[in-house]
Structure 1
Amino acid sequence: MLKMIKTAVLSALIGLGGIAALPAAAQADALYINFSGGNAGYGIQVNHRAPARHHNWRPHNNRHQTCNARTAVNKAERMGLRRARVVDSNRRIVRVVGRKFNRPATVTFANQRGCPTLYR
């Protein structure tokens, strides 16, 4: 009788452990839980198959590779320029002019991701 209770408790613990592992295996293709009765052998097997991708699939890491005018103006305004506007833009730089401390001011950004500041 005691052996049967121990087996039932152990089976319940393994079952609860398997249920706790289900959210981690939610993307799995299949989940198999095996309890063999005679030799007290227990096992969990999770088969995962990667989802098929569309043949034209490309990663979306090419967004925001350059500094656009809106980003440059927003960054210049955060730096303290008032009435900021883009006056020059080419493949290397984005130049923004505005006023700071009631005087004309120019900020030049590199035309790269994140708009790094070159000159103030």
Structure 2
Amino acid sequence: MFQKLKIATLSAMIGLGTLAAAPATAQADSLYFGFGIGGPSGGYVYGNSGRSHRAERPRRHYRACSPRQAVRKAERMGLRRARIVRANRNIIRVAGRTHWGRQHVVFARAPRCPVIR
């Protein structure tokens, strides 16, 4: 009995050693083993992790609100046919129409275009 246990342990060590020594050519594919409460588990993952290549690209963080960003935010707020009426170094005023008539929205030149009025 003890001899069979020694042979099983030795073969398991050799098998795991060969898996650890195998070269990792494809980083997207992986072979995993786990020992937990539910018992031993293992598997093989093929392909990427589901993220697109665009998610790995760093995002640009703009320092100030641009007129284009202000118009887009005004349209998301419900202004139809939004256009820039006035823009200076502190504010961007956008005009458009709603169900109740003409409306003006004033944005600050700060990140994420906060609404002033």
Which TM-score band applies after superposition, normalised by the shorter structure?
0.5 to 0.7
* Amino acid in the other structure paired with 1:116: P
Which residue is 2:30 aligned to? Answer: none
Runs of 5+ unmatched residues, structure 2 = 28-57
Structure 1 counterpart of 2:62: 64
Identity across aligned pairs (percent)?
Answer: 39
Residue 90 of structure 2 aligns with an amino acid whose one-letter code is R
SS of the equivalent of 1:99 reads strand
Which residue pairs with 1:29 in the alignment? none
Q: Kindly provide the CA deviation profile for residues 52-85 of structure 1, in whole angstroms up to 9, marking residues without a partner as x.
A: xxxxxxxx77642211111111111111111211
* Separation in 2, partners of 1:19, 1:101: 69
| Residue of structure 1 in register with 2:92 after alignment | 94
1:19-62: per-residue Cα shift (whole Å, max 9, x none)? 79x59xx6xxxxxxxxxxxxxxxxxxxxxxxxxxxxxxxxx776
CA 1:111–1:6 in 2, change beyond 3 Å: closer, same or farther?
A: same
Alignment length (residue pairs): 82
Gapped regions of structure 1 (runs ≥ 5): 27-59
Deviation at 1:14, TM superposition (A): 4.3
Aligned match of 1:108: 106
**TM-score for the superposition, normalised by structure 2:** 0.55
Instruction: Look up the SS of the partner of 1:118 in the other structure.
Output: coil
Q: Distance in 1 between matches of 2:16 and 2:108?
A: 59
TM-score (norm 1): 0.53
